[in-house]
Amino acid sequence: MMYKNKNLILLIFFIIITCLSYLSYNLLKPSLLSKIKKSKELNIVFLNAQSTYYIGVNGEEGFEYHLLKSYAEYLGVELKITTVNTVEEAIGYRNNPSIHIISASFTKTPSRKHKFNFGPSYFEVQQQVVCNRSMIGKRNFPRNIDGLSNLNLRVGEGTSYSETIRSLVKDGFDLNATFSSEYSTEELLKQVSSHEIDCTIADSNIYALNLRYYPEMDMAFTISGREQLAWVLAENSDELAKDMYVWLNDFTQRGKMAQLKDHYYSNVHFFDYYDTKIFYKRIRTRLVKYKKFFLKAAKKYNIPWKLLAAMSYQESHWNPSAKSFTGVRGMMMLTRTTAKTLGVENRLDPEQSILGGAKYIKKMIKLVPQDVKDENRLKFALAAYNVGRGHIQDARKLAKRLGYNQSIWSDLKKVLPLLEKKIYYARLKYGYARGEEAVKYVEAIYDYRDILEKISRKDIK
């Protein structure tokens, strides 16, 4: 009996030691967050797309890229980036032990919540059915799910859109849908615009960003409720997730999220189908004649030539003989007085006008107060070019009075339209101004510039 009790005691002792060892190991085991901080690297898989990550004219760009870059700076680590071309490729990295975060505009669908380890949500979208615009005249443009039954519908494999289609088919809807692992959502939108396929599905933010590049597509109807975009985190990353929630809340509270959304999404609201169609046409018929002058001015004044071209289009539609009822004239629509101060002898000479306009905007940039930083300086200068420096000074004072940040464009653009209201402008030095027009002016220039940067070089020989 004593022998059995002794063995039992030894067994219990062994079990206790084993449990303590296991608990000690897991308690002492460094978390993923601490490993990231120690290695000084945050390893991220980015979907190579406009809404997430891409190489732009000034280097790395993308809404999600700038978000996670800010988080990396918050941690004091460097981003180590791997890019993929489709959502399905991104999902393939889910169990890769060296990857910390996957950033591919993932929506938190019910089925994904069981499969993925999601971090904080950072954007709200809806899935939209997008079809070729020409179908409207043929009366087969769909207005609901039943309208898709005889159409060629293609979506990306592994996306939330493929989940939606399969769910609808399961519910009895007759859909002629194919699933592609070869094309990204942006490529499918391009196929819709060129009418290689009838329709696809895209999140509302992706559709909005690409509409200006593919104007022959149109949103047919919304096919989902509101959904949250979130990052997929590595397994066993609870501490990382909590830290990201804290950071993102602070990032939002400090107004940084609003600034970032303004940077990437503000000008998508100004899309005009017919204006964009004409713009593409004039790139081929007009811009090619004057490109050399924009390049010359860009080099002389260190301003991107496509920005100058976008300004000129907004001013005159690249018409060297343009004239307004107020008397401003030429490619950059200079007043007689301004032209004289800039050394422009003939406002109708396209080269002189473009050089004069470039010199003037350079001067305006230099005059922007020093507390206005980075790209905000250019937007302030463009607004001043349109509405006058005095009114921008008034808008800054009013912004401060109303509790806005007078040094960032995302806040100033909220205040500028108030210069049209007597309750505000009556107390300002320079009085009434068409402030809303200045906001639209800046956003339109950025829209045209973005199109010029996106299209193929062969279209601007």
321: domain CATH number is 1.10.530.10
- In this structure, is residue 25 part of a structural domain? no
Q: In this structure, are 297 and 412 located in the same domain?
A: yes
Tokens found for residue 304 = 């991107």
Q: In this structure, are 114 and 134 located in the same domain?
A: no
- In this structure, is residue 13 part of a structural domain? no
Q: In this structure, are 375 and 452 located in the same domain?
A: yes
Place of tokens 């593919």: 214
Domain residue limits at 364: 273-460
The predicted pLDDT at position 211 comes to 86
Q: Please report, as a single letter, which amino acid is at residue 105.
A: S
The predicted pLDDT at position 239 comes to 95
Number of domains the chain contains: 3
- In this structure, is residue 386 part of a structural domain? yes
Tokens found for residue 231 = 């990052």
Q: In this structure, are 252 and 112 located in the same domain?
A: yes
pLDDT one digit per residue (tens) for the chain, 461 residues: 555 566 666 666 666 666 555 554 455 568 899 999 999 999 999 998 888 988 765 678 889 999 999 999 999 999 999 999 889 999 999 989 999 999 999 999 888 988 899 999 999 999 999 999 999 988 899 999 999 998 999 999 999 999 999 999 999 999 989 999 988 898 899 999 999 999 999 999 999 888 888 889 999 999 999 999 999 999 889 999 999 999 999 999 998 998 888 878 876 656 677 788 899 999 999 999 999 999 999 999 999 999 999 999 999 999 999 987 667 899 999 989 999 999 999 999 999 999 999 999 999 999 999 999 999 999 999 999 888 899 999 999 999 999 999 999 999 999 999 998 888 988 899 888 888 889 989 999 999 999 998 886 555 66
The predicted pLDDT at position 263 comes to 79
- In this structure, is residue 233 part of a structural domain? yes
Q: In this structure, are 107 and 176 located in the same domain?
A: no
The predicted pLDDT at position 215 comes to 87
Q: Alpha-carbon dihedral of residues 453, 456, 460, 461, nearest 10 degrees? A: 130
Q: In this structure, are 447 and 304 located in the same domain?
A: yes
Q: In this structure, are 292 and 398 located in the same domain?
A: yes
Last residue of a domain, one of 212, 240, 268: 268
The predicted pLDDT at position 290 comes to 96
Q: What radius of gyration do the chain's Cα atoms show? A: 28
Q: In this structure, are 349 and 412 located in the same domain?
A: yes
Last residue of a domain, one of 225, 259, 282: 225
Instruction: Select which of 78, 315, 345, 420 is catalytic.
Output: 315
Q: pLDDT tens-digit profile of 392-423?
A: 999 999 999 999 999 999 999 999 999 988 88
- Half-sphere exposure of residue 316, counting CA atoms within 13 Å on the CB side? 27
Q: In this structure, are 136 and 114 located in the same domain?
A: no
- In this structure, is residue 15 part of a structural domain? no
Those residues with Cβ within 8 angstroms of residue 353's Cβ, 6 or more apart along the chain or in another chain: 320, 330, 331, 332, 334, 344, 347
- In this structure, is residue 388 part of a structural domain? yes
Q: In this structure, are 283 and 344 located in the same domain?
A: yes
Instruction: Residue 242: give its domain's CATH number.
Output: 3.40.190.10
| Residue 330 falls in which region: left (phi positive, over 0), alpha (psi -120 to 50) or beta | left
- In this structure, is residue 17 part of a structural domain? no
Last residue of a domain, one of 210, 225, 240: 225
Told to judge if 315 belongs to the known catalytic residues of this protein, a careful annotator would answer: yes
Q: In this structure, are 386 and 289 located in the same domain?
A: yes
- Do residues 55 and 66 make contact, with C-beta atoms less than 8 angstroms apart? no
* Nearest residue to 105 via CA among 66, 178, 148, 47: 47
- In this structure, is residue 431 part of a structural domain? yes
Instruction: For the chain, give the secondary structure using H, E and C.
Output: CHHHHHHHHHHHHHHHHHHHHHHHHHHHCCCHHHHHHHHCEEEEEEEEECCCEEEECCEEECHHHHHHHHHHHHHCCEEEEEEECCHHHHHCCCCCCCCCEEEEEEECCHHHHHHCCEEEEEEEECEEEEEEHHHHCCCCCCCCHHHHCCCCEEEECCCHHHHHHHHHHHCCCCCCEEEECCCCHHHHHHHHHCCCCCEEEEEHHHHHHHCCCCCCEEEEEECCCCEEEEEEECCCCHHHHHHHHHHHHHHHHCCHHHHHHHHHHHHHHHCCHHHHHHHHHHHHHHHHHHHHHHHHHHHHHCCCHHHHHHHHHHHHCCCCCCECCCCCECCCCECHHHHHHHCCCCCCCHHHHHHHHHHHHHHHHHHCCCCCCCHHHHHHHHHHHHHCHHHHHHHHHHHHHCCCCCCCHHHHHHHHHHHHCHHHHCCCCCCCCCHHHHHHHHHHHHHHHHHHHHCCHHHHC
Q: In this structure, are 153 and 292 located in the same domain?
A: no
